[in-house]
Amino acid sequence: MTLQMDLPTADEYPTRKTSEPALLYRRDPVVWTGAPGRPAPAGPFTTEELDGYDRRGYTQVESIVSPDEVEAYRAELGRLSEDPALRADERVVVEPASDEVRSVFEVHKVSKVFRDLVNDPRLVDRARQILGSDVYVHQSRVNYKPGFGGGSFYWHSDFETWHAEDGMPRMRAVSFSVALSDNYTHNGALMIMPGSHRTFVSCVGQTPDDHYRSSLQSQHVGTPDQASLNLLADRHGIDVLTGSAGDMTVFDSNCMHGSGGNITPYPRSNVFIVFNSVDNACTKPFSAGDARPEFLAAREVEPAGR
């Protein structure tokens, strides 16, 4: 199935449109099938796991892939990073300071190894269970945070960018991060404000043309103001998500999250996949002139796992 929507859609989450930031109530479910305290819809997650996801905005699954699979993914990441043809591709983002590869986007289209992973029932069935529909890959990438200089990712809500710049109408997307290396508190692990997914931070500042070119290395427009971050952190606290290679973190599109830099000798890498509901296909951007390229935000809806 191929679907592209260009019809105007009501903006439930206005952002980058006023001179003052605002905190808005979430208008969408977190788990689109079932509800806390009720039997879990069919799928790999238990009722307790879905309740925790609904409450915190994230959950973790241990050993979702085997050690042999982790090694295969690491080897493929190494191959992609060293491919000179791919290195010249816009889908490859490098660290500003070291020129080392930071991310390879649309990785399921440049690698059969990762294409198989994004269609794996261990992931797809969980995404369907949370979103209550068939799903497609909105974005995929491998991230590499090298030792002695891996850069930080400032606090942000992915949905704010996907809504403003990609035209994603509703909070009906979920991110899967499969760890390819051990995540310690000290090597740039993911940090999340649990419960922050129920508040949308409306940001200030107009979106520049071709904003993605600079934002992939260091984002400024679309980042929350410090007063909003203080409020959310005081209200919810901050969880640092550690774990072993092969573990997976699943988190809501509107979670406030970020990660520090990595000055340790221990690199951190992961495969990152965004599943969006087929019923939530992107329209025209809500706060940008033009949609970002296909490798950042799929415009064709092809159900995963088929």
pLDDT tens digits, residue range 143-164?
888 888 777 889 999 999 999 9
Of 145, 152, 141, 151, nearest in space to 178 by CA: 141
pLDDT given at position 178: 98
CA diameter of the chain: 52
Residues listed for the chain: 306
Express each pLDDT in 181-204 by its tens digit. Answer: 999 999 999 999 999 999 999 999
pLDDT of residue 145: 83
pLDDT score for 152: 82
DSSP 8-class letter at 96: T
Predicted TM-score (pTM) above 0.85: yes
The ranges of the chain with pLDDT < 70 are: 1-8, 34-41, 95-100, 210, 212-220
274: tokens are 């965004």
Beta bridge partners of 251: 58, 175
Report pLDDT for 42. 77
User: Which residue(s) pair with 140 in the sheet?
Assistant: 273
